[in-house]
Structure formats: C-alpha cells, structure tokens
Structure 1
Amino acid sequence: MQKTTIYLVRHGETEWNKKGILQGWLDSPLTQEGVKHARMLNQALHIKNIESVYSSDLNRAIQTATILAPSKSIIKDARLREIYLGEWQGQKISNLNSLPDYITYCNEPHLFQGATQERFEEISRRMMECLQYIHQHTTGNVLVVSHGVAILCCLMYILKTPIEKLWEIANIQGTSVTTLECINGHFNVKTIGEINHLNGK
C-alpha cells in the first residue's frame, strides 16, 4: 500500500491581497501579517514530520514554503500555480466589478469562458496531475504550497463538486491547511481550510 498525506497550504497574505489587486501569475511579496501567519503555521507543522516540500514556482508561494520548512529543499512546480487571469492580472478588483466576464467569473463559474483567462477545468487537471506525481514519488507527509483558486479547483475535482458550486466549497484563507490523503492513487479530503494555528490551537 502506498500512502501519502498532503498538507495543501495557501500562501500567506501578500501586498496585492491587502490592496485588492488580482495577482494570478503576477506576484507581490508577503505582508508582515502574511509572514507572521506563516511563522505561526511553522510551529504547528513541526509535529507533522514533513518529509518533502513542493511549491508553486510563484515567489509568494516559495516565500511561504521557505518560512514553513526552512531546513528542507523546495521542489518548485508550475502546475501548482494560481489561475491565469490574463489582462485582469495587476488590476484592482474594484475596477473589474462591472465587466460582464468578471461578473460571470464571480457568480456563474460554470458559464465562465474568459477570452484570455484559464478555465477552471484546466486548473483542476494540472493540479491533480501534480498531486498524483507527488503521490507516485513520495510517501509519508508532504507539504504543498499553492494558491486559493488552485486549491478550490483541486477540491472541486476530488469532491466531484459541480463547477457552479466552486465558490461555495470553502473560504481558503492565507496559510490555511487542507489535508488530503492519497492511498494507491485515490484521494480523500480529510480537512479543508483549517486555520487552527491562527486561533492558538
């Protein structure tokens, strides 16, 4: 039996998160609060006996992974990236709220067909491809640092949630932990978006 437990973590709060700017494949550094929360999670992860660390190749995820597991080498994988948002990247959300495509993105994800944005199904596909790769090459406890929408798309696939319910799955906060267990290629969701480390638990 091959068993892998994956602790899927969203990166800490960034400067653009704080300013309400969409990032996608663009980047901004962690805020002081984001660094603080990552350090708090570091303490909680000490008891997990993390054996391997994977991260999105975007800097905010790498910065978070480095804080969470400073003594481990980080394997970077572009398949763990956030959704690609095309011309929306780097723009304030308040400037996008009146755009028909953005309204569809937020309210009817199953109908979203943005001209330059990545489709939710594509994100699910690359995320699951990466997680299966990790399972095939690693046993034990693995830390994986990724992004909010990417984690939701992963959960959507595993839980067989319809795309129209994507935004209802969970609120994936910065440094939250979603725990996946994979046995012989079959994934189960154990916890979603835990933030016990922020509540002193």
Structure 2
Amino acid sequence: MSVKKIYLIRHGQTDFNVRGIVQGSGVDSSLNESGRRQAARFFAAYRHVPFAKVYTSLLRRTHESVAGFLELGLPHEQHGGLNEISWGTREGTRITPEEDEEYHGVLQDWRAGRTASCLTGGESPEQVAARQRPFIELLLSRPEEETVLVCMHGRAMRVLLCQLLGYPLSQMEHFEHRNLGLYELDYTGSLFTVRSFLDTRHLHDAE
C-alpha cells in the first residue's frame, strides 16, 4: 500500500508576529527579513523532496514562504480553507493579557470544549474546521500526489491537525507551532500518523 506524505508548515515570520499584533485572515502581511531567511533555510533543507504539488492559503505570507519551490515550477494551488482563523475586530491590534479579557476568555472557552465560541466578528474553531473539510477531501481524493507541501497558519494548522488525527478541537493547544516549523504526516488510506512533530532543525542557522 502506498503512503501519502504531507509536509505541513506554518508561514515564516512577519513584523506583526514580532510586534505581537494579531493578523488572522484579514491582515495580508509579507515576511520580514527573518521570515525570508527561514523560508530560504527550509527550501535548502527540503528542495530535494519530490513534491507533487504545493498547497497554500490565499495569503501572501504563505506564498512567500514557499517561493523557492514555486520558482522550481512545482504545481501550486491556493485554498481559502487554509486561511488563518478570523479574529474579527481584533485583527491588526496588539493583544496582551492585561489589554484584552475577551481574547483570553475565548481561548479559555476553547480549552474547555466550547469551540463554537469566537471573538466579535470572528470565526470559531468549528467554523474553521468546516471550511477546511473540503480541502481535506480534495487532498485525499488525489492519491497520485504522493508527497505534498502545505503551507498555512498557526491557529488554523492546529485545527487541521485535530481533524486529521482525530482529536477534539479542545485539544488543539497540544499542537505547538513556530514560524516555518514542520509537521510530517503519513496517510495510509485510512489513518494519519505523525512522522515528525514540529521539526525546526532546518532553522538553527536562520535565527
């Protein structure tokens, strides 16, 4: 039985990440210098992998993170289902525990299993999961694409990993993420397994 291999990465660093400003799906930022170095290091480490296709969200920070692979001419598809969660009215603002009780209250709701909760004007994890499911179905309907690269966003990645691995959304905090950190997953036709959990060895020279 052939095994489908999925290389799942978060986009590289942006200035908004450094400044602690919420991006979500409504802030279409670019990588900063550090993020471009991270992308270059990832490309150098994995350019030999025979990716059949590169999948990204609609947002430029994911496109820029895989630019090296796209320049090789690899097929590329972008999907709104891979976009980051919408943080509603909080997008573009800086959030700290002292400044925004609503934000941290929603995170507490999610940990308690109330995953239909959302910020004002934003999405819930359940809504993100619902828009990801068509992408998951598309991915699994293409067995000929044996090895693929998927670049997306931190919170949305947590939701996706819960779905692929059969965890409740309340457990998504267990899936840590880092700019250009890598999860490698195998799919046997019935089950996803994690082959590599947040691998960042390729970034050691990019800091």
User: Is the structural similarity TM-score above 0.5?
Assistant: yes
Are the aligned partners of 1:2 and 1:139 in contact in 2 as well (CA < 8 Å)?
A: no
Secondary structure of 1:179's counterpart equals strand
Are the aligned partners of 2:53 and 2:148 in contact in 1 as well (CA < 8 Å)?
A: yes
Establish whether residue 105 from structure 1 lines up as the match of residue 106 from structure 2.
yes
Q: Which structure 2 segments of 5+ residues have no match?
A: none
C-alpha RMSD of the superposition: 2.0
CA distance in 2, matches of 1:128, 1:48: 26
1:61 corresponds to which residue? 62
1:24 corresponds to which residue? 24
Q: Which structure 1 segments of 5+ residues have no match?
A: none
1:82 corresponds to which residue? 84
Query: Judging changes above 3 Å, is the alpha-carbon distance between structure 1 residues 100 and 151 closer, same or farther for their aligned structure 2 residues?
Result: same
The percent of aligned pairs where both chains have the same amino acid is 24
Alignment of 1:34-183 (within 5 A): 34-71=35-72, 72-94=74-96, 97-109=98-110, 110-111=113-114, 113-114=117-118, 115-137=120-142, 138-167=144-173, 169-183=174-188
One-letter amino acid matched to 1:81: N
One-letter amino acid matched to 2:21: I
Secondary structure of 2:52's counterpart equals strand
Query: Per-residue deviation at 1:121?
Result: 1.9
Are the aligned partners of 1:12 and 1:60 in contact in 2 as well (CA < 8 Å)?
A: yes
Query: Judging changes above 3 Å, is the alpha-carbon distance between structure 1 residues 55 and 97 closer, same or farther for their aligned structure 2 residues?
Result: farther
Are the aligned partners of 1:41 and 1:68 in contact in 2 as well (CA < 8 Å)?
A: no
Aligned length: 198
Are the aligned partners of 2:57 and 2:83 in contact in 1 as well (CA < 8 Å)?
A: yes
Query: Per-residue deviation at 1:103?
Result: 1.5
Query: Judging changes above 3 Å, is the alpha-carbon distance between structure 1 residues 126 and 75 closer, same or farther for their aligned structure 2 residues?
Result: same
Query: Per-residue deviation at 1:173?
Result: 0.3
Secondary structure of 1:188's counterpart equals strand
One-letter amino acid matched to 2:54: V
Q: Looking at secondary structure, tell me which structure has more helix per residue.
A: 1
Secondary structure of 1:142's counterpart equals strand
